[in-house]
Amino acid sequence: MARLYESRKRILVTGGAGFLGSHLIDRLIDQGHEVLCVDNLFTGTKRNIDHLHTHPRFEFMRHDVTFPLYVEVDEIYNLACPASPVHYQHDPVQTTKTSVLGAINMLGLAKRLKAKIMQASTSEVYGDPSIHPQAESYWGNVNPIGPRSCYDEGKRCAETLFFDYQRQHGVEIKVVRIFNTYGPRMHHADGRVVSNFIVQALKGEPITIYGDGRQTRSFCFVDDLIEGFLRLMETGPEVTGPVNIGNPNEFTIRDLAEQTLAKVGGSSALINEPLPKDDPKQRQPDITQAKAVLGWQPTVELSEGLDRTIGYFRDALPRLEG
């Protein structure tokens, strides 16, 4: 059941027409807040927010966060940035600018308004980790000049800016490190493993496994992730993060492919392709801090989450590809 607040807030969500942003906005609207959704629609889509078009407490603004934004709000969630390799490598310079200039512009706005601000960071700040699972104290193992660096280092720099704005200007910040997340409204062609496998299986195409499939990931359902966002934003100024939000249950990529194919049915073959450069061999969050500070842990098992995500794509795929 959604928690209702005594005082209505006006909340800015950048990247609000994206996968995570649109789910966050739904929760904020359910809580009684007003939401300003800002998105340049590079990877986001109005389809994700069409159901809110006539809602009296929802407003959409098409804007690129690499340019300053002058609005009046009480809180800011900064989610703007392409988050899949297919999209963030399409224009790597723009990806870095979105992370770095976007953080500067949103932090400047938060400073002026004295508003609380959350940065959607990523487990990619850990790179190809040399420790397992990854705790927030780990500084990472990141290639600063590789094809993924625009995203990895852009997000690392954004975290730096957030903590410098806190120390230098007293801005109240929250930093969340997001691990692999899936669910309805994922982009059908973003190259992420869950959407890839589901779409390929539904279309009867071969399911593409990069490498030998023994690399591991931990998959968090979107509803669980958004609950983590909200709990972190509710904390006082003494809690800044970074906080890992993700599901610590670890699966190999081949496990995921086989589960997906079993649920969808059909006769798609599993085929192997070369592993992309700098693709991490393992990724699993240590969520000790999230449990202790936020009282948060995921509740949706992979099997249930896959069922809900497959149901979404089964219904939406003809429209998405039309």
Q: Per-residue pLDDT tens for 32-80?
A: 999 999 999 998 999 999 999 999 999 999 999 999 999 999 999 999 9
Residue written as token pair 């030998």: 212
Confidence of residue 320 (pLDDT cuts 50, 70, 90): low
Q: Residue 130: exposed, middle, or buried by beta-carbon count in 10 A (0-12, 13-18, 19+)? A: exposed
> Residue 4 pLDDT > 70, yes or no?
no
Please give the average per-residue pLDDT across 147-169, as a whole number.
96
pLDDT tens column, 226-284: 999 999 999 999 999 999 999 999 999 999 999 999 999 878 889 988 877 766 777 89
Claim: this prediction has a pTM higher than 0.75: yes
> Residue 190 pLDDT > 90, yes or no?
no
Number of residues that make up the chain: 322
> How many Cβ atoms are within 10 Å of 114's Cβ, its own excluded?
10
pLDDT at position 321: 64
pLDDT at position 273: 85
pLDDT at position 87: 67
Please give the average per-residue pLDDT across 189-198, as a whole number.
88
pLDDT at position 187: 87
Active-site residue identified among 77, 88, 126, 151: 151
The share of the chain scoring above pLDDT 70, in percent, equals 96
The structure tokens listed for 109 are: 């706005």
pLDDT at position 1: 42
The share of the chain scoring above pLDDT 90, in percent, equals 78
Q: Residue 112: exposed, middle, or buried by beta-carbon count in 10 A (0-12, 13-18, 19+)? A: exposed
63-77, 177-191, 278-292, 306-320 — which one is most confidently predicted on average? 63-77
> Residue 129 pLDDT > 60, yes or no?
yes
> Residue 5 pLDDT > 80, yes or no?
no
Please give the average per-residue pLDDT across 89-94, as a whole number.
86
- Establish whether 70 is a catalytic residue: no
Confidence of residue 322 (pLDDT cuts 50, 70, 90): low
CATH, domain range 10-183+220-247+284-299: 3.40.50.720
**Angle between helix 302-320 and helix 193-202 axes, rounded to 10 deg:** 60
Asked if residues 180 and 245 have their Cβ atoms less than 8 Å apart, the reply is no
